[in-house]
Amino acid sequence: MHFTHLGRTGLRVSRLCLGTMNFGPQTDEPTSFDIMDKAHEVGINFFDSANAYGRRGGTEQIIGRWFAQGGDRRERTVLATKLFIGMGDWPNEGGLSALNIKKACDASLKRLQTDYIDLYQMHHVDRATGWDEIWEAMEVLRSQGKILYVGSSNFAGWHIAKAQAAAAERHFMGLVSEQSIYNLLVRDVEREVLPAAKDYGLGVIPWSPLQGGLLGGVVRKEREGIRRYEGRAAQSIETHRPQLERYEDLCAEIGHEPSTVALAWLLTRPAVTGPIIGPRTIDQLEGALTAVDITLDEKVLDELDQLFPGHKTAPEDYAW
C-alpha cells in the first residue's frame, strides 16, 4: 500500500480509503469485521464512516465492536466520521449548530467505543448556521481532545473559501479535507472544488469512484449474464452505453479491470488523497488493491479524457 499526507497535514493515510457505508445494511457484522481486518493486513489505515450510516448509527456501532476486540485495531486506524444528517425527529438532532456538534460527537464516540475521532467531517453545508458558531464548537471539541482534524463533504468551492477565511480570523486550522463525488463520469469538482482544495491545502477524498458501479464493467457483466440490471441502473447504462463500451474495450486493451482503472485514474488527479472504496465482500476489497500500483500513461489518460470529457478550472471552463 502507498501512503500520502492528508492535505497540508502531517497525517499519513493510505491512498485507498475504506468506506463503511455498507456495513450493516448490506454486509453483515462478521463479514464487516473480516473486511476491516483484511484492510489492515494489506496496509489500508484510513477508514471513513458517518453517524447516519446503518440506520442512524448502526455502522459506527459495528466499527466500535471491531475496535473493542483490541489488537491495536483503533491505534492503527485513521478514523473519519461525519455529522449533519438528522438522527431523530426532535429539533436540534441534525445540522451544524453548536448543540448538535457537541451531541453528535459524543454519540459517535460512544458508538465507536473510542475517545477521539481523527477526522470529523461535516456531511453537508449548513446554510442556517454561521461559521463563527461552527468553528467555536469544533475548537471546543479539539481542545477537549475529542477530534484532531476537521473536514467537509459536498461543499462547493466558495463554501471552502468562506470556511477557511472564517477559520483564519480565529487562528484555527480550519478544513483539512473535502469529500466530494468524483469519478470519470462526474467531473464537476474540477471547475472550482479541486482548485480551491489545492490552494487551501485540503486533501480531496472522492466518493462514488465507480459511479454506482457503472465504471465497474457493467456492459461485460450484462453481456455475460453475470448481472441483470433493472430500473434506474438499466436506464443509466443505456444513457452511457457507447461511452461504457469504449471504456471497457480500452481497459481490456491495457489489461486491467474497469473498476481498477477508474480508481487508478482518480489517483492521478490533483489534490486527491485517495478514493473511498466501499467493498461488500473480501473479494471486492482485494480487487481494488491493484489500483495503487497501476501507472496510466499519457496516451491512456488522453483517451480517458476524450471518452469522459472533464472541465477546465473556472472561469476558463465557461468563459474562454
Render 3-53 in DSSP notation, one character per residue.
Answer: EEESTTSS-EEESSEEE-TTBTTTB-HHHHHHHHHHHHHTT--EEE--TTH
Active-site pick, 53, 120, 200, 247: 53
Pair 268, 296: CB distance under 8 Å: yes
CA quadruple 137, 141, 144, 150: dihedral sign:
negative
* Torsion angles phi and psi, residue 301, rounded to 5: -60, -40
Report the distance separating Cα 12 and Cα 45, nearest Å. 9
| Residue 291 to residues 16, 72, 208, 294, Cα–Cα distance (Å) | 9, 27, 15, 5
Place of cell 475529542: 146
| Rounded Cα gap, residues 20 and 35, in angstroms | 10
Strand intervals (E) in the chain: 3-5, 12-14, 17-19, 46-48, 78-83, 117-122, 147-153, 175-181, 203-207, 276-277
Helix (H) or strand (E) holding 206: strand 203-207
Q: Which residues pair with 205 in a beta bridge?
A: 179
The answer to whether the CB of 114 falls within 8 A of the CB of 80 is no
How is residue 62 written as a grid cell? 459495528
Strand 17-19's sheet: what is its strand order? 203-207, 175-181, 147-153, 117-122, 78-83, 46-48, 17-19, 276-277
Q: DSSP 3-state assignment of 193?
A: helix
Task: Scan for cell 464512516, then name that residue.
Answer: 49
- Output the CA torsion sign for 269, 153, 201, 198: positive
53 is catalytic: yes
Cite the active site residues: 53
